[in-house]
Amino acid sequence: MNFPQNPNPNFTFLSDENFISPFMDNFDFANLMFEVDEGGNNGLVQEENSPPISIVSSETLTCDSSGSGSAVMTLSKKDSTFDCINRGIKDAETKEPPSHRVAFRTRSKMDVMDDGYKWRKYGKKSVKNNINKRNYYKCSSEGCMVKKRIERDGKDAAYVITTYEGVHNHEIPSHVYYSDMVLSYDHNNWNQHSLLQSIHTSPPS
DNA sequence: CGGTTTTGACCCGCGC
DNA sequence: GCGCGGGTCAAAACCG
């Protein structure tokens, strides 16, 4: 099967820990990257025989993704724990087809990172167990229903949790460059590992 | 002036 | 049925 289109091609889901910060020096791409999907085999950094959720981290992960039911994971990091429950999967079993969903946690001073796509904010909510607001964005391209949520980790405000939902049905509005290298973006294999360094969202003139 | 952001209201699903 | 929490809508404000 083909891999879904990367909703955020600026991020590459690496499976080793030698990750080079892609977003300036105040950015520490981080501790958590996982895909929440329909239980299929198109995990982002899925290794052989691994569940459809992968973590890039030295932290502890327990993941219960048996069957096609909801995925529950607990990520322990010293004195903090991150829990994720994918409700969409359960809903998808009886209703509409599940949308592709990708979530990851990054250490960044910036709340919103430019991923090359154009987003329009449509909501902001305070959520339980998090003093920080959660922001909701939609892709502003016509006909594109991709959404993303951005919130600061309630347990560690240094981290930003970003969740993408859906697949872009259009090209990236602006090319993305990593240093002198244009990010190799293969629609059919977007989970391939890439070297990321710094980012520029507008092409050199 | 058009696109984006803000923000309160509304809707819906879920648990009790 | 009710309350809670999360997600979305939409009108007004804001901005370039």
Ordered DSSP codes for A88-137: HHHHHHHSSPPPPEEEEEEEES-SS---SS-EEEEEEEE-TT-SSEEEEE
Residue A28 pLDDT grade (very low, low, confident, very high; cuts 50, 70, 90): low
Q: How far apart are CA A153 and CA A160, in angstroms?
A: 6
Residue closest to C9 C1′ by Cα = A122
Token pair in block for residue A76? 């322990």
Express as a percent the part of chain A with pLDDT over 70.
35
Mark the nucleotides of strand B covered by protein, meaning any atom under 7 Å from a CB.
3-9, 13-14
Residue A131 pLDDT grade (very low, low, confident, very high; cuts 50, 70, 90): confident
User: What value does the mean pLDDT take over residues A143-168?
Assistant: 84
Residue A47 pLDDT grade (very low, low, confident, very high; cuts 50, 70, 90): very low
SS3 of chain A: helix, strand, coil, percent, to 5: 5, 35, 60
The spacing between the Cα labelled CA in A205 and the C1' in C9, in angstroms, equals: 40
Q: How far apart are CA A90 and CA A180, in angstroms?
A: 43
How many other β-carbons are positioned within 10 Å of the β-carbon of residue A49? 5
pTM of this structure: 0.61
The spacing between the Cα labelled CA in A137 and the C1' in C9, in angstroms, equals: 13
**Which of A's residues 61-100 have CB atoms within 7 A of nucleic strand B?**
87, 90-91
Nearest to A17 by CA among A5, A6, A31: A31
Token pair in block for residue A193? 């590992």
Of A17-21, A152-156, A157-161, which range is least confident? A17-21
Q: Assess whether pLDDT exceeds 80 at residue A134.
A: yes
